[in-house]
A and B are shown apart, each in its own frame.
Chain A
Amino acid sequence: MARRILKSRNILITGATDGLGFELAKAYASRGHRVVATGRQLLTNDLDFFGSPNIAYIRADQSEPEAAARAIAQAMEKFEWESIDLAILNAATGWTGHPAEETPEEIQRQITINLTAPVLIAKAIAPLLFAAQGQLTMIGSTAVKGQAQFATYAATKAGLDGFVRSLREEWRNKAHVQIIHPGPTRTKMHAKAGLKTGMVRMFFMPTKRAVKAIQRSIRNRDNKRILSRTYGWSSVFSSAKEGEL
């Protein structure tokens, strides 16, 4: 896309080797922004994997949240980023089944990856976000209202929602903090969480449309956005104007 962009921004995206994170990284990179993408995989060739010279990949395994936060902070230094305009903390994991069958390890794993890690990463990048009066975007889930079959997953997303609500007030005039709750999207998330979706998947939002909707909500600096079907559809033709993210 040869669209003219006034200013190239620094964007951090976690969980970017797959699903929404991957598509978001490519979408922002294609508009000329500099993207640091994270994931837990070891990638041998970033350029082949993402197909864009604007995306640099670093490994940050969120099951070790302190190490992940440190890896991200070190990468910022290595790439000489003095500020972050936008950080999309998207990485998450899930488990599905009866809540009495969730093992302690499974509960721990989801809380660590979905809640502890974003909290520690937000803390680690706070100075860089403040430097740009940037934006911290958390990716939640519509499960935030409670789900019998993903009790811990829903709890971690509700945790992020509450975290964002309070931090937004704390960080007023320093950085904008928002949360976007996508509904079921046609990513590999469900299969990874052990859920067979079958035909129902047809009704899930296509990943590309969800990415459009997320980008729109980021541009609009919403406080909290639930990605409803209507919002998804109406986002299809929404795109950034000059100077916008």
Chain B
Amino acid sequence: MKALITGAANGLGRAMTDQLLDAGHEVWAVDRDTDALDALAIKSRGSCRVILADLANPNSIQRLMRDVKDVKFDLVVLNAGISATGRFEEIPGAAYQKLIAINLTAPLVLASGLMHQDNMAPKSQMVFISSLSHAVGYPGASVYAATKDALAIYAKSVRKPFKKRGVGVTAVFPGPIRTEHAERYSPKDAKANKRMLPEDMAKLILKAASKGKKELYAGKGAGAAKFFGKLAPNMMSKMMRKVIFDKLDSNTY
């Protein structure tokens, strides 16, 4: 099987990449972290093609599209993402532009481009990594939440038209994961043991993708969060404010 994973060098993307490589699949690993990509290339001894790309940069995305022009992927995981947490009005505009470029524009351009360029193998699967914030809101990261909601709805919108061309779409809503990324953006007293290990999350995502599932809510309390988020959305975001926004003592972007 051939897989393309963005944000593959660290965290959840890395866990998915490792698991696919261990199972003997070929992975095209996209990231902007040169050192981590090097480590990945050395470790995999050739079964992993590393692609250095800055997904905030449209030219870099176009270069990536040219690099994979003749490949037919069985699995694409649009995973790369960043965040910005703190008081909305205090975070620089440039940080928001970068956040929207990486979390939203890049996956949409890649999804549409890979379909247009006929990069998807028959019966392949495209996976969008949204966030559990889609269910509960995320005061203290309102623009991050915006990009993840947008991604969720894009996945929902393209599900039928992509299916007609033989490509399944999975939207994933992961709860908190124990990665460096997550820790950087969280309140300082947030407990690490309440977060799922990236390896466990990766396993669930790859399983959902292989089964062609439409949606996956995964992580500790994700099921309950989804349920109550739909039942009482305002109450949930109020609670999110208490557990996150009120505890953030600095802006991180």
**Contacting pair A166 B150 (CB below 8 A):** no
Does A144 make an interface contact (CB < 8 A)? yes
Q: How far is the CA of A120 from the CA of B146 in the complex (A)?
A: 13
**Contacting pair A100 B149 (CB below 8 A):** no
Residue of B nearest to A163 (CB): B146
Does A53 make an interface contact (CB < 8 A)? no
Q: Is the interface of A mostly helix, strand, loop or mixed?
A: helix
Does A123 make an interface contact (CB < 8 A)? yes
Does B115 make an interface contact (CB < 8 A)? yes
**A167 partner residues in chain B, CB cutoff 8 A:** 88, 139, 142
The digit string for B34-61, where 1 denotes a CB below 8 A from any CB of A, is: 0000000000000000000000001001
**A19 partner residues in chain B, CB cutoff 8 A:** none
Does B160 make an interface contact (CB < 8 A)? yes
**Contacting pair B146 A107 (CB below 8 A):** no
The residue that A156 contacts in the complex, of B91, B150, B162, with Cβ under 8 A, is B150
The digit string for B229-240, where 1 denotes a CB below 8 A from any CB of A, is: 000011001101
**Contacting pair A158 B150 (CB below 8 A):** yes
Give the interface size bracket for A toward B. 35 or more
Given A148-B157, A155-B154, A163-B143 in contact, is the A111-B108 Cβ separation under 8 Å? yes
**Contacting pair A115 B104 (CB below 8 A):** yes
Q: Report the minimum CB–CB distance from A63 to chain B (whole Å).
A: 13
Q: Report the minimum CB–CB distance from B124 to chain A (whole Å).
A: 14
**A245 partner residues in chain B, CB cutoff 8 A:** none
**B158 partner residues in chain A, CB cutoff 8 A:** 99, 148, 151
The digit string for A130-159, where 1 denotes a CB below 8 A from any CB of B, is: 000000000000001111101110111111
**A102 partner residues in chain B, CB cutoff 8 A:** 108, 112
Does A18 make an interface contact (CB < 8 A)? no
Given A101-B116, A158-B150 in contact, is the A146-B104 Cβ separation under 8 Å? no
Does B81 make an interface contact (CB < 8 A)? no
Given A100-B112, A100-B165, A120-B96 in contact, is the A166-B139 Cβ separation under 8 Å? yes
Does A161 make an interface contact (CB < 8 A)? yes
**Contacting pair A154 B116 (CB below 8 A):** no
**A163 partner residues in chain B, CB cutoff 8 A:** 142-143, 145-146, 149
Q: Which of A108, A146, A169 has the most CB of B within 10 A?
A: A169
**Contacting pair B157 A165 (CB below 8 A):** no
Does A66 make an interface contact (CB < 8 A)? yes
Q: Which of A120, A123, A155, A168 has the most CB of B within 10 A?
A: A155
Given A100-B115, A104-B113 in contact, is the A152-B143 Cβ separation under 8 Å? no
**B125 partner residues in chain A, CB cutoff 8 A:** none
**B91 partner residues in chain A, CB cutoff 8 A:** 123
**B151 partner residues in chain A, CB cutoff 8 A:** 155
**Contacting pair B245 A159 (CB below 8 A):** no
**Contacting pair A66 B93 (CB below 8 A):** yes
Does A4 make an interface contact (CB < 8 A)? no
**Contacting pair A169 B139 (CB below 8 A):** yes
**Contacting pair A154 B154 (CB below 8 A):** yes
Q: How far is the CA of A47 from the CA of B142 in the complex (A)?
A: 38
The residue that A98 contacts in the complex, of B111, B161, B241, with Cβ under 8 A, is B161
**A103 partner residues in chain B, CB cutoff 8 A:** 112
List, sorted by A's number, 28 A–B pairs whose CB atoms are closer than 8 Å. Answer: A65-B93, A69-B93, A99-B111, A99-B162, A100-B112, A100-B165, A102-B112, A104-B109, A104-B112, A111-B150, A115-B104, A120-B93, A122-B88, A147-B157, A148-B157, A151-B161, A152-B154, A154-B157, A155-B154, A158-B149, A158-B153, A162-B150, A163-B145, A163-B146, A166-B237, A169-B137, A169-B237, A170-B88
User: Which residues of B does A touch, CB under 8 Å?
Assistant: 58, 61-62, 87-89, 91, 93, 96-97, 100, 104-105, 108-109, 111-113, 115-116, 133-134, 137-143, 145-154, 156-158, 160-162, 165, 233-234, 237-238, 240-241, 245
Known contacts A163-B145, A165-B137; 5 additional CB pairs below 8 A are A65-B93, A104-B109, A119-B100, A162-B134, A166-B138
Closest 3 CB pairs of A and B: A162-B149, A159-B150, A158-B153
